[in-house]
Structure 1
Amino acid sequence: MNERNDAVEGDTQPHRGRSSRKEEDGVDVLLTRTAAGDEQAFAGVYDALAPQVMGLAFRVLRDQAQAEEVTQDVMVEVWRAADRFRPERGTARNWVLTLAHRRAVDRVRSVVAGRARELRTGARDRDRPFDSVAEEVEQREEHRAVFRCLAQLAGHLRVPLVLAYYEGLTYAEVADALAAPAGTVKSRMRQGLRRLRECLEAGP
């Protein structure tokens, strides 16, 4: 049985390996360019790796909304800390997924600590009003909708909104982070917000 598996892998692995290696190299180059402030390169990194980050985060957290939040946190960290990537130590994919795993585990610990606090205040939590619970559900649904619509935007519109929405940066701070003129960033954000609003109003 083992010999058969080895033979099958031997027949197919070289072609898949060459393709995978080429893709990995491409993302490595994009991340290196991202470290130099290349916004379009970051959009490429985002498109290539965000789905994998999302998958890993969901496997750790088992919660769609929290996995989406972790994914955005990780991708913002990739943009801000891309200069820490060292190609000689491994691929961009592995570097980003390491960040994702760390963030997801930190979120699990935070959730566990939060649940422990809730248990310590048991009686008060059991008496929470319906409106408070409904508000939490509504906020989670809103986060999921925003994540879905952001993913549909073109990279040059998505990146400024990710920095503003998840990092709370102003127009000027986003412009500084992207090394772009404030007027250009403001125009992109307005266009991105308009499309984001249209997507949210259209629904799933």
Structure 2
Amino acid sequence: MPAETRPPGGGTVSAHDAGLLLGRTARGDERAFELLYDVAAAPVHGLARRVVRDPAMAEEVTQEVMIEVWRSAARYDPERGGAMAWIMTIAHRRAVDRVRREQSAGAREARAAHAGAGGPHDPVAERVEARLEHERVRRCLGALTRLQRESVTLAYYGGHSYREVAELVGAPPNTVRTRMRDGLIRLRDCLGVAR
């Protein structure tokens, strides 16, 4: 991993600076988090991509990691290692957890398919359940700000990258990232998804 990374605005951010940015992030400094995001997101995504192998899943893991960095920055202890090492450890754990979760889900589905092969199939109940879930997601999306809702919808339903979303909504990419992060946190809380 390089000792220095070049943020979009120019200049360099060293590993030491990443630690300083993480410290400022722990105190709620959103600008410091944006800079830290610019430095850390690509290495986190690269690691996630190597572990999970699926591009869309790697994007999700990257977002989860960066949200965790934002929320748990105060737990970073510079005495125990560098900021990027701390972030990459979180990324590795999240990526491995995602692989395990996907493998477990696949095994559960296979067992359910095998066990339910002879049982009754109730398509009406499945449609009702899907419709209720759809309404719940729609209600939670409605609780977001306009920019959060547009950004999340374009990224997750439209398959657009941050840069494409930023162009479509006419906002800077860092603003889109921040709004999406905040929107995903609000969606998670609204849907009652466990952390």
TM range, normalised to the smaller chain?
0.5 to 0.7
2:187 aligns with 168
The answer as to 2:60 corresponding to 1:69 is yes
The counterpart of 2:93, out of the listed 102, 117, 135, is 102
Cα displacement (A) at 1:65: 0.7
The question of whether the paired residues in 2 share the 8 Å contact of 1:163 and 1:169 is answered with no
* 1:145 match: 160
For normalisation by structure 1, the TM-score amounts to 0.60
Counterpart residue type for residue 57 of structure 1 = A
In structure 1, the gaps of 5 or more residues are 1-15, 133-138, 171-204
| Equivalent position of 1:155 in the other structure | 174
Structure-2 separation of matches of 1:143 and 1:69: 15
Q: CA-to-partner distance for each residue in 1:94-145, whole Å, 9 max, x for gaps?
A: 00010011111111111011110121133679x9x9xx9xxxxxx9973742
Go from structure 1 to structure 2 and tell me whether the alpha carbon gap of 1:116 and 1:73 turns closer, same or farther (over 3 Å shift).
same
CA RMSD for the aligned pairs?
3.3
Q: Percent identity?
A: 42
Letter in 1 for 2:53: R
Say whether the 8 Å CA contact 1:39–1:156 is kept in structure 2. Answer: no
Partner of 2:9: none
Going from structure 1 to structure 2, the CA distance change for 1:157 and 1:141 (only over 3 Å counts) comes to: closer
1:49 aligns with 2:40: yes
Structure with greater contact order relative to length (CA < 8 Å, sep ≥ 6)? 1
Shift in alpha-carbon separation, 1:150–1:70, aligned structure 2, 3 A: farther
2:179 aligned partner, one-letter code: P
User: For this pair of structures, how many residues does the alignment match?
Assistant: 144
Q: Structure 1 or 2: larger helix share?
A: 1
Distance 1:56 1:63, change over 3 A: same
